[in-house]
Structure 1
């Protein structure tokens, strides 16, 4: 390969790597902005001088309104924009709800409002990058159809954004690597390291998961969706759903994330409600095992019922008697479970709930 072509390849790759920080739902490189690419290559060859180059670049695209809007436009150019009316209406609604949920615990969300759009990529992914720029792959909607579960995915990404994980991860990782690159002959090795390092750490993932639960519980979304979404991914991974299989290849164990959320749900209920492999127990007494329904496995659905019960206990609805409204078991003002074919009757469940709650 000619030196000119090699230089262009390295320059473009490094620029894209510096700016990209797709998070927990897949590897999608963010677009390379033209500004600063040649200086980045020079900075890497120069070693220590890269600190100022890197900081200036990240400050521009993460902190300045002009820079983050420029970066957002570049994202749209590279990935394309899905203009589906219904999906965009839903995304607007989710982002509005989540922003209010975040605002209840972290008012800084209003200081740098998120930019977001649905892109045309077919993989199962959503990602937040620098500048509070967020995008959702069209392919995500082939896996998730429940708004509550989609909201959990986005809440996780917003957790990364709120803690500035994208820029922190890029700066920490790249500073260490750049400092070790003193000559141009080492640039190739550096590029390989940057490409293979997604800049995200396990503590960052855990923090974003915990924040997602906090945000969701400050909205009207079912908190049980936090566990249900990972059960859905696990269920689909058993099939030949290639998008999910690809997603699973380089991410934290989904059963661990599901189980962590089940513990949070139990704690949220005041430890009144537990779930063991789909069997919901209240105060250590068996309540029910919901049937599969609505495109959900029995176990996925059980987490939604658990979420409703957890919310009922957390909000004090357990002080009221359970009753039946149509086919729905109610506890105070909180719907618990709408019974379908394969479930026990709503009246049976309401009676049992009153006996064990």
Structure 2
């Protein structure tokens, strides 16, 4: 029975229970299943919300995220790339702290991955992964700072966590419809939305626009050339 039929059956049962004495209204198994699934879905949603907040706002959660994503991407142990990344991240972090002191509570943790493509990403918990290809393809640190500032804008405004929560809510709804809430399905959901978030997370246009504007402010206060903002996105388009 699909969700609409289940919901209709549940509504009929509730209305009948209001108008008839208890004991006269039969409780059909499908109605009980629906109520159980919905309650179970709400409980799972609440539990996952707490887990996402743990990953996104605590040092313990950050450490768990770091361990997970570094296993996924690999880590490039190279002094040149690491020092170059640290220099940019430290300057941007100091810039952000001038207007958003929350960064002091959970400083960013960053590393270089061996991937040769042009990309960088900020996960939940302020973990920044920057591909080796970013440095190989762009020699200007001002331009790289714009990209990293954009990603830090996502981090400061919890865009990744919010997007992950939306994805989780959709998956929970699917589990309710399929009567598979909890158990191994739940474990898979957590694994997919946390360990693989770099590939699966989707940031909406409004959040991207906000991150762009924040990046401009961050790089300007950090002393980078604000003209690099237009330059790097033109380079990306080309």
Please give the TM-score of this superposition, normalised by the length of structure 1.
0.49
The C-alpha deviation readout for 1:300-344, integer Å capped at 9, x for no partner, is xxxxxxxxxxxxxxxxxxxxxxxxxxxxxxxxxxxxxxxxxxxxx
Asked if 1 retains the 8 angstrom alpha-carbon contact of 2:81 and 2:132, the reply is no
**Cross-structure match for 1:345:** none
Match 1:155 to one of 142, 149, 152: 149
TM-aligned CA deviation for residue 129 of structure 1: 0.7
Asked if 2 retains the 8 angstrom alpha-carbon contact of 1:129 and 1:161, the reply is yes
The C-alpha deviation readout for 1:268-300, integer Å capped at 9, x for no partner, is xxxxxxxxxxxxxxxxxxxxxxxxxxxxxxxxx
**Cross-structure match for 1:96:** 90
The C-alpha deviation readout for 1:161-213, integer Å capped at 9, x for no partner, is 0111111111133224423431447899xx8xx89963311110000000000
Q: Quick check: 1:212 aligned with 2:206?
A: no
Q: Quick check: 1:198 aligned with 2:198?
A: no
TM-aligned CA deviation for residue 66 of structure 1: 1.5
Give the CA RMSD over aligned residues. 2.8
**Structure 2 counterparts to residues 326-337 of structure 1, below 5 A:** none
SS in 2 for 1:94: helix
**Cross-structure match for 2:67:** 73
Asked if 2 retains the 8 angstrom alpha-carbon contact of 1:102 and 1:215, the reply is yes
Asked if 2 retains the 8 angstrom alpha-carbon contact of 1:82 and 1:120, the reply is yes
**Cross-structure match for 1:231:** 234
Match 1:172 to one of 148, 166, 172: 166
- Give the whole-Å Cα distance in 1 for the aligned partners of 2:237 and 2:55: 36
SS in 1 for 2:55: helix
Tell which deviates more after alignment, 194-203 or 156-165: 194-203
- Give the whole-Å Cα distance in 2 for the aligned partners of 1:74 and 1:177: 21
Tell which deviates more after alignment, 223-232 or 114-123: 114-123
**Cross-structure match for 2:58:** 64
Q: Which has the higher contact order (CA 8 A, sep 6+)?
A: 2
**Structure 2 counterparts to residues 1-357 of structure 1, below 5 A:** 46-184=40-178, 198-235=201-238
**Cross-structure match for 2:23:** none
Asked if 2 retains the 8 angstrom alpha-carbon contact of 1:51 and 1:175, the reply is yes
- Give the whole-Å Cα distance in 1 for the aligned partners of 2:104 and 2:200: 31
Structure (1/2) with the larger strand percentage:
1
Please give the TM-score of this superposition, normalised by the length of structure 2.
0.71
Asked if 2 retains the 8 angstrom alpha-carbon contact of 1:126 and 1:154, the reply is yes
- Give the whole-Å Cα distance in 1 for the aligned partners of 2:99 and 2:50: 31
- Give the whole-Å Cα distance in 1 for the aligned partners of 2:220 and 2:50: 37
- Give the whole-Å Cα distance in 1 for the aligned partners of 2:61 and 2:234: 38
Asked if 2 retains the 8 angstrom alpha-carbon contact of 1:125 and 1:137, the reply is yes
Asked if 1 retains the 8 angstrom alpha-carbon contact of 2:115 and 2:133, the reply is yes
How many residues are paired up? 190
Distance 1:215 1:78, change over 3 A: same
- Give the whole-Å Cα distance in 2 for the aligned partners of 1:93 and 1:124: 19
TM-aligned CA deviation for residue 78 of structure 1: 2.2
